[in-house]
A and B are shown apart, each in its own frame.
Chain A
Amino acid sequence: MMNTLITSLARLLIFPGLLFAVPAAWFFLWVERKAVARMQGRIGPPFMQPFFDFIKLLGKSTPPRNGIGGMLMKAWPLIAVSSAAGAVGLLPVLPASGGFQGDLILLLALLELPSMCIIAAGFSSRSIFGEIGSAREAVLSVSYNVVFLLAIVSIAASQHTFSLSALAQLPFSWLRLLGIVAIIVCLPAKLHLNPFSLPNAEQEIYSGPMVEYAGPELAMWELSHGLEWVAATGLVATLIAPAFTLWWVAALVFVAISFAIVLLLSVVASATARLQIDTTVRFYWQCTLIFAVLAVAAALFTRFRA
């Protein structure tokens, strides 16, 4: 009992939890900006840039906000950061790191919470741009989440388990590859990257739901966005990475695969333009949903054959 408590605390606070995840979040934010800059033929921001931005935002003042609305506006970024950090802490990176039956469901819920917070934050800011951004985020989240969940369910259903560490140790299969591709297609929408960066479209609605945020609250949003990067790419990395017995090899492979996915997503983001909301929704419902339903059907078929 004591042992599991210590292991889970270490996972939440050290690796792959806060102590690893916060610098990794800043690093991935830098990789994103740097990759976009290199694709545009620029040099791009210095290595420590997201860290400097974070510290600077901590030192800025915030406009006074009273009442329930003000309290809620302070609460949303904190909820987003803690749920994203919890999601990173659940990832089964190290071999034999524990975990429980059903932690996949908890991970999916924690991954979903930041975007719920973004929707709520936009509406509680009472700014017209924030409300448009939140409405777009809600529409987007309804369309990509069906595909995202079906892709993960297809992998889980074929193995009849909802435990992350059991999923991470599976051998390679074509079905799993199909699921992973479907998840990667959903990631740009989840991380608000370019073909699907509708909720925070700078040229149309300024920063969308974040438009009224300033200072430390904005710093928390930046951090939660970085942690979402770590959690979302980490989920794909644990599904791709083969099982290792040595812990440092497992950790190294995890970081390398996450890095590769961040690079891939940033390059795609800088090479594409923003799609309209109806095009985006049609893309997810028509093209990708068929793909995900096929994956689930195949998963159920293989399970009943076996």
Chain B
Amino acid sequence: MNLWKKLMCYSRSHSPWLFHMNSGSCNGCDIEIVASLSPRYDAEQLGVRLEGSPRHADILCVTGPVTHNAAAAIRTVYGQVCGPKAVVAIGSCPATTNVFIDSRTLDGPLNKHIPVDVFVPGCPPRPDAIILGVAKAAEILAARGNKPPKESVMIPIGESSCCAGGCACKAEKEEVRA
């Protein structure tokens, strides 16, 4: 039984399937999510798969500052994702509503509506940071199982959000400098 639990935990952390939900985003973060699956960053190495149906997903990736129209849809989709599940808020908008703060069309931030496990701030965040956030969420998911979420994790902005050196991000910067 213990072995089965260990295998399940390992499998959960190695096979995060994403469902991407746009809650009024400007499309900047959405493009970066697609970029993180592209040949340059290739999130599929971690077992990531972008799914079309929330029923198939483990991790709900939300972008955008949560408009009034999107709020009910977010709660519905969160309910449709089968447990164990985790939520990653991608970009500064779902974390703080960003530059749209105090807008009368908004009902944000995201954690007013659903529990968020990982925040990936940035406007938009780099694909490295998104991949790191998803990997973190998969670890949290595997450790937590079906228990309710406790506290959120913040992925820091900047070079520390890169993977441990030698990644595409650093190479790109060196190219720019040279």
- Which A residues are closer than 8 A to B by beta carbons? 33, 37, 40-46, 48-49, 51-53, 55-56, 58-63, 129, 202, 206-207, 210-215, 218
How far, in whole Å, are A51 and B55 apart by their CA atoms in the complex? Answer: 19
The listed residue with most A CB atoms (<10 A of its CB), out of B42, B51, B53, is: B53
30 contacts between A and B (CB under 8 A): A37-B42, A37-B44, A41-B39, A42-B42, A43-B44, A43-B45, A44-B45, A48-B14, A49-B14, A51-B11, A52-B10, A52-B15, A53-B15, A55-B8, A55-B11, A56-B12, A56-B14, A56-B58, A60-B58, A60-B84, A63-B80, A63-B82, A202-B52, A207-B52, A207-B56, A210-B53, A212-B55, A213-B55, A214-B82, A218-B55
- B:109-163 near A, CB below 8 Å: 146
Which residues of chain A are within 8 angstroms of B12 by Cβ–Cβ distance? 56, 59
Query: Scoring B residues 37 to 57 as 1 if CB is less than 8 Å from chain A, else 0, what string do you get?
Result: 001001011010001110110
How far, in whole Å, are A213 and B55 apart by their CA atoms in the complex? Answer: 6
How far, in whole Å, are A62 and B82 apart by their CA atoms in the complex? Answer: 6
Is A42 touching B44 in the complex (CB atoms < 8 A)? yes
Which residues of chain A are within 8 angstroms of B56 by Cβ–Cβ distance? 207, 210, 213-214, 218
How far, in whole Å, are A52 and B17 apart by their CA atoms in the complex? Answer: 12
How far, in whole Å, are A137 and B47 apart by their CA atoms in the complex? Answer: 28
Is A53 touching B45 in the complex (CB atoms < 8 A)? no
Is A46 touching B45 in the complex (CB atoms < 8 A)? yes
Which residues of chain B are within 8 angstroms of A129 by Cβ–Cβ distance? 53
User: Which of B7, B44, B55 is in CB contact (< 8 Å) with A214?
Assistant: B55
How far, in whole Å, are A51 and B45 apart by their CA atoms in the complex? Answer: 15
Is B42 touching A43 in the complex (CB atoms < 8 A)? yes
User: Which of B10, B15, B55, B83 is in CB contact (< 8 Å) with A211?
Assistant: B55
Known contacts A52-B47, A53-B15, A215-B82; is-contact A59 B8 (Cβ 8 Å): yes
Which residues of chain B are within 8 angstroms of A210 by Cβ–Cβ distance? 53, 56
Query: Scoring B residues 5 to 24 as 1 if CB is less than 8 Å from chain A, else 0, what string do you get?
Result: 00110111011010000000
Which residues of chain B are within 8 angstroms of A46 by Cβ–Cβ distance? 14, 45, 47
Which residues of chain B are within 8 angstroms of A202 by Cβ–Cβ distance? 52
Q: State how many angstroms separate the Cβ of A134 from the closest Cβ of chain B.
A: 15
Is A63 touching B45 in the complex (CB atoms < 8 A)? no
Beyond A41-B39, A129-B53, 7 additional contacts (C-beta under 8 Å) are A43-B44, A45-B47, A52-B15, A53-B47, A56-B12, A59-B8, A62-B82
Closest to B48 in A: A45
Q: State how many angstroms separate the Cβ of B37 from the closest Cβ of chain A.
A: 9
How far, in whole Å, are A56 and B58 apart by their CA atoms in the complex? Answer: 10
Is B8 touching A63 in the complex (CB atoms < 8 A)? no
Is A45 touching B45 in the complex (CB atoms < 8 A)? yes
How far, in whole Å, are A51 and B146 apart by their CA atoms in the complex? Answer: 21
Q: State how many angstroms separate the Cβ of B149 from the closest Cβ of chain A.
A: 16
Which residues of chain A are within 8 angstroms of B51 by Cβ–Cβ distance? 207
Is B55 touching A49 in the complex (CB atoms < 8 A)? no
How far, in whole Å, are A280 and B45 apart by their CA atoms in the complex? Answer: 33
How far, in whole Å, are A129 and B54 apart by their CA atoms in the complex? Answer: 13
How far, in whole Å, are A44 and B14 apart by their CA atoms in the complex? Answer: 13
Is B53 touching A61 in the complex (CB atoms < 8 A)? no
Q: Which 4 A-B pairs have the closest CB atoms?
A: A206-B52, A55-B11, A214-B55, A41-B39
User: Which of B39, B47, B52, B83 is in CB contact (< 8 Å) with A42?
Assistant: B39
Is A52 touching B11 in the complex (CB atoms < 8 A)? yes
Closest to A50 in B: B15
How far, in whole Å, are A233 and B45 apart by their CA atoms in the complex? Answer: 27
Q: State how many angstroms separate the Cβ of A21 from the closest Cβ of chain B.
A: 21
